[in-house]
């Protein structure tokens, strides 16, 4: 019995030691691929592609992964820029889906490493959310783990996938509807941040439906015989006003906003067509559905008031998010082990310069401590939305946030692009890749973690609430969006695509000295 007892105790110790060795090996694998991480990061930054138009990004990443032995599926879920890259070792083993967003922000073009406003191409899109960096995290981590799996004959499947048109909430719900995650065991998602962090449960935030209403009337000469027309723009404005009447009677947690996406052609023509585009946000599946139902009623009322007709189309959707506790705890332990990047004096000086120039609420430079892993908020606050929510209801899911941005910069803004092709981003990406790779090792080598993750998913997350898709089978992805914008700016952007064969970094190609400090030409005069 004593011998048996020793053996029983020794097995977990041996397994833990083997796991520690595996993690050390994949961390070395990430470090050996730091140059590749920088190249992917800088290449995608230079493409600056908007949602649904991530063609260069897709070509670059799929070509790279195909060379590394991954099987590529293209045009996934009816999205021309969507793809998956799958690699399987042996038979059986967990299926790990590794994802990150890839699209940019309109009018956010910005010279990296310049701490004041200076577009690369005036008016062009840019990576003002840092989505150029996540696939660098994922691919480098996956390649390091793949190498270890081959050496150790560890069975399992790695499935790398992109978040298409995340800024329009236009991709992941279609991936879900297509069944991309049907056989997936866990989803490890990465997203840029200013520190290492993860979370479990329902975080602050909302789900949403993105919906556009098309009003149709009859054109007429606006001065000669306006009574012969029926203004579709009147219908749009009546709907906007009608929605404002409802705000007082909606929950304070809701968020709803709109733009008139088509107001007509010119003032002297009564608009025969006009469109209004809404984001309707709430904190439960039921509440989102009720908001959409209310918006439909307001649209119908507006059409009746103005003697026009109205139809609607869903442009995107995002479910509420719920993240997996056992996976988050495993990832956080790896964050503690890896620690924050070792920022040098140049990194900190640059970050503080940016913070001062944009009057950021934080002016202490780059973060040096991890964000704590605490329980989810008892009453989640209203905030933004992310269609990773849809994925989180298909399989145990977490988001690994990595420190590639500067604290205090506004999201969806040119200032958030400043650091995203600099040593700050490069160090943050490598740090995130280490955590991602170590967490993949946990999933592959800790059967109990997989059991616990699925138990939480079944007995906690989906015990009383199941996924309620917002999309119907008739809804199609809005792949035409951003097409004209990219056609306008792509020729100039293409002249500045990163060329890694000639330049060590994108900063070098652009002639930017690191670190560039100061307030810029306008403020120094």
Contact 211, 315 (CB under 8 A): yes
pLDDT in tens, 344-369: 999 999 999 999 999 999 999 999 99
DSSP 212-264: EEEEE-B--BTTT-GGG-B-HHHHHHHHHHHHHHHHTTS-TT-EEEEEEEE--
Domain boundaries along the sequence of the chain: 17-204+321-347+377-464+472-509, 207-317
Contact 426, 132 (CB under 8 A): no
pLDDT in tens, 34-77: 999 999 999 999 999 999 999 999 999 999 999 999 999 999 99
Contact 415, 114 (CB under 8 A): no
Mean of pLDDT over the chain: 95
Query: CA nearest 187: which of 102, 96, 101, 100?
Result: 96
The predicted pLDDT at position 5 comes to 37
Rounded distance, CA 164 to CA 49, Å? 11
Write b or e for each residue in 102-136: b if 16 or more Cβ atoms lie within 10 A of its Cβ, otherwise e: bbbbbbbbbbbbbbbebbbbeebbbbbbbbbbbbb
Are both 17-204+321-347+377-464+472-509 and 207-317 of the same fold?
A: no
Inter-helix orientation angle 134-152/55-67, to 10°: 10
Rounded distance, CA 139 to CA 301, Å? 50
Of 10-24, 330-344, 411-425, give the lowest mean pLDDT range. 10-24
* % residues pLDDT > 90 (the chain): 95
pLDDT exceeds cutoff 60 at 483: yes
Decide: residue 79, CB within 10 A, 0-12 exposed, 13-18 middle, 19+ buried: buried
- Cα torsion 506, 508, 510, 515: sign: positive
Model confidence at 13, pLDDT cuts 50, 70, 90, reads low
Rounded distance, CA 298 to CA 155, Å? 55
pLDDT exceeds cutoff 90 at 2: no
Model confidence at 523, pLDDT cuts 50, 70, 90, reads low
Q: Find the mean pLDDT for residues 229-254.
A: 96
The predicted pLDDT at position 470 comes to 93
- How large is the greatest C-alpha to C-alpha distance in the chain, in angstroms? 102
The predicted pLDDT at position 11 comes to 47
The predicted pLDDT at position 1 comes to 35
Residues 6+ apart with CB under 8 A from 294: 246
Length of the chain: 525
Model confidence at 522, pLDDT cuts 50, 70, 90, reads low
3-state DSSP helix/strand/coil % of the chain, to nearest 5? 45, 15, 40
Element of type H or E holding 298: helix 285-306
Half-sphere exposure of 509 (CA within 13 A, CB side): 22
The predicted pLDDT at position 3 comes to 38
Fold assignment, 17-204+321-347+377-464+472-509: Aminopeptidase (3.40.630)
The predicted pLDDT at position 10 comes to 44
Model confidence at 18, pLDDT cuts 50, 70, 90, reads confident
Measured CA angle at 75 (ends 74, 80), to 5 deg? 125
pLDDT in tens, 279-307: 999 999 999 999 999 999 999 999 999 99
Inter-helix orientation angle 134-152/2-32, to 10°: 130
pLDDT exceeds cutoff 80 at 525: no
Class of domain 207-317: alpha beta
Model confidence at 12, pLDDT cuts 50, 70, 90, reads low
pLDDT exceeds cutoff 50 at 464: yes
Rounded distance, CA 251 to CA 388, Å? 24
pLDDT exceeds cutoff 50 at 524: no
Strands (E), 370-488: 397-403
Q: Find the mean pLDDT for residues 319-336.
A: 98
Model confidence at 242, pLDDT cuts 50, 70, 90, reads very high
Q: How far is CA 20 from the centre of its chain?
A: 30
């Amino acid at each position: 019995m004593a011998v048996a007892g020793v053996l029983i105790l020794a097995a977990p110790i041996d397994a833990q030691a083997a796991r520690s060795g595996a993690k050390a090996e994949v961390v070395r694998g990430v470090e050996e691929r730091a140059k590749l991480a920088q190249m992917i990061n800088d290449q995608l930054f230079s493409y600056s592609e908007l949602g649904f138009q991530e063609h260069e990004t897709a070509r670059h990443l799929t070509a790279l992964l195909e060379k590394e032995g991954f099987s590529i599926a293209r045009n996934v879920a009816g999205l021309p820029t969507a793809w998956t890259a799958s690699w399987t070792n042996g038979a059986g083993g967990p299926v790990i889906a590794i994802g990150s967003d890839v699209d940019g922000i309109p009018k956010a073009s910005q010279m990296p490493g310049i701490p004041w406003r200076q577009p690369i191409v005036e008016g062009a899109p840019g990576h003002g959310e840092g989505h150029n960096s996540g696939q660098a995290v994922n691919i480098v981590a996956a390649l390091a783990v793949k190498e270890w799996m081959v050496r150790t004959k560890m069975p399992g499947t790695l499935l790398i996938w992109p978040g298409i048109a995340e800024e329009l909430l236009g991709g992941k719900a279609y991936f879900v509807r297509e069944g991309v995650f049907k056989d997936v065991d866990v989803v490890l998602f990465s997203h840029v941040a200013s520190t290492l962090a993860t979370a479990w449960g329902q975080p602050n935030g909302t789900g949403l439906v993105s919906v556009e209403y098309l009003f149709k009337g009859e054109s007429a000469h606006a001065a000669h015989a306006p009574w012969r027309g029926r203004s579709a723009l009147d219908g749009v404005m009546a709907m906007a006003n009608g929605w404002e009447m409802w705000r007082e009677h909606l929950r304070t947690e809701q968020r709803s906003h709109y733009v008139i996406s088509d107001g007509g052609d010119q003032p002297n023509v009564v608009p025969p067509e006009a469109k209004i585009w809404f984001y309707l946000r709430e904190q439960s599946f039921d509440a989102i559905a009720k908001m959409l139902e209310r918006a439909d009623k307001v649209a119908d009322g507006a059409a009746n008031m103005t003697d026009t007709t109205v139809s609607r189309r869903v442009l995107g959707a995002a479910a509420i998010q719920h993240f997996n506790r056992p996976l988050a705890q495993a990832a956080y332990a790896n964050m503690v082990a890896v620690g924050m990047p070792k920022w040098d004096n140049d990194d900190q000086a640059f970050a503080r310069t940016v913070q001062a120039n944009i009057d950021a609420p934080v002016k202490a430079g780059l973060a040096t401590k991890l964000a704590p892993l605490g329980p989810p908020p008892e009453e989640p606050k209203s905030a933004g939305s992310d269609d990773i929510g849809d994925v989180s209801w298909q399989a145990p899911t977490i988001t690994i946030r990595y420190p590639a941005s500067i604290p205090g910069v506004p999201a969806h803004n040119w200032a958030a692009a400043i650091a995203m092709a600099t040593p700050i981003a490069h160090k943050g990406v490598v740090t995130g890749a280490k955590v991602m790779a170590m967490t993949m090792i946990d999933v592959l080598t800790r059967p109990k973690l997989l059991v616990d993750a699925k138990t939480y998913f079944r007995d906690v997350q989906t015990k009383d609430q199941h996924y309620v898709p917002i999309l119907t089978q008739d809804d199609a992805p809005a792949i035409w969006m951003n097409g004209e914008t990219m056609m306008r700016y792509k020729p100039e952007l293409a002249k500045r695509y990163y060329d890694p064969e000639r330049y060590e970094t994108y900063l070098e190609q652009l002639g930017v000295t690191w670190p560039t400090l100061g307030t810029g030409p306008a403020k120094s005069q």
